[in-house]
Amino acid sequence: MSAHPLTIGVAGLGTVGGGVLKLLADNADVVAARAGRPIVVTAVSARDRSRDRGLNTAGLRWYDDAAALAGDPGVDVVVELIGGSEGPARDLVEAALRAGKPVVTANKALLALRGAELAQLAGTTPLAFEAAVAGGIPAIKALREGLAANNITRVAGILNGTCNYILTTMREQGREFADVLAEAQKLGYAESDPSFDIDGIDAAHKLTILAALAFGRPVDFSAVHVEGIREVSALDFQMAEDLGYRIKLLGIAERTEAGISTRVHPCMVPQAAPIARVDGVFNAVEVVGDQCGRVVLQGRGAGAGPTASAVVADLIDIARGRHTPVWGAPLAAAPSVPMARHTGCYYLRLMVVDRPGVIADVTGVLRDNSISLESMLQRGRAPGEAVPVVLTTHECEEAGMRAAIARIEALAAVMEKPALIRIEPA
């Protein structure tokens, strides 16, 4: 074991930053043994020095300006845990890479939006980000290293624990979205402004990273189709149960003959599928390779311990001199498949007036758009009043389904905006 420690500066002392300091203190011996030398925090940066974080920062150099960490001669590696694609986080990472200092970050937004330019700036300097996707699950290492010999055809996953908790609670307790979200906020599982989570943006950032690693295409957040979970209702869970499905917010990246498809949206998945049984705040990542087949990883996708575990794993690699290119291999342009060309099966929920001829009108619209039905469910009868009707389709193209929905919504007997959930195979 080398006597010379690896010295690090940590910017951001929130949940994850505090977790990193605690892990390095609690597991100092095992970390040193696996790193070949001690890993020691020598400097920190956070906005408020006076805040009691329950951390011992005595003897550490403190920087009010996070970017100044990069110029500290007593810091070998910069750990960025501030978050955000601009401002102090970006300034610090760029300053450190320009100074030739390795960077470890958990910042999925920065990587999804600035990953290409940061990789170019890094050159041969390590830029590590295991903690940016799925917390304690080693999804990055699996794609970049463990499955490196495979042609990857698909990466999919539950990439946001807040959404998975909300959807799980809605299913188990039969409650509506707004009610469960409010409870999740009280419990600390959802932010006071939960938009990044529930609108699918956080999951899309992570999927952007996974797609670049899996398919060697440039990082392109703008190519991801993004939908959140605001429109999913308790009734959808009841119907999903009858149909043999569970509802999950999935990020899905696939290689097709036409190019690379990347999308985040609610999905109905068969109850027997491994990913259907990942509940609560847990995450899962599923990779399909031509040699390995399907590999499923699951675990805690957020929180102090799991995310700190991923951060320190990157630090151990740097201490040992293990280094791979930022995106695993040189990136090459590949066409993006627009959502309109997606082909699959669909769940369609309508609220219609219960009177003769309504279903014939709806199915006529579907027929005109080359969409065939697989099944239809109607709960109860209420002549002259609104009732829910659920239709599932055989495979069809998204563009045709969207055109059909526009016409169905305009029918006089349709009382609400139709709800659409895509059905994913097992």
Catalytic residues: 206
- For residue 269, give both structure tokens: 């998945």
- Please provide the distance, in angstroms rounded to a whole number, between the alpha carbons at the two ends of the chain: 48
Output phi, psi for 144, to 5 deg: -80, -25
Query: Is-contact 210 133, C-beta < 8 A?
Result: yes
Please compute Rg for the chain using Cα positions.
24
| Cα-based torsion angle of the residue sequence 161, 166, 169, 171 in order, rounded to the nearest 10 degrees | -110
Pairing of strands 419-423, 259-270: parallel
Q: Which of 347, 397, 359 is nearest to 246 (CA)?
A: 347
How far, in Å, CA of 358 to CA of 385, rounded? 12
| Cα-based torsion angle of the residue sequence 12, 16, 19, 21 in order, rounded to the nearest 10 degrees | -30
Residue with tokens 């195979």: 425
How far, in Å, CA of 333 to CA of 359, rounded? 46
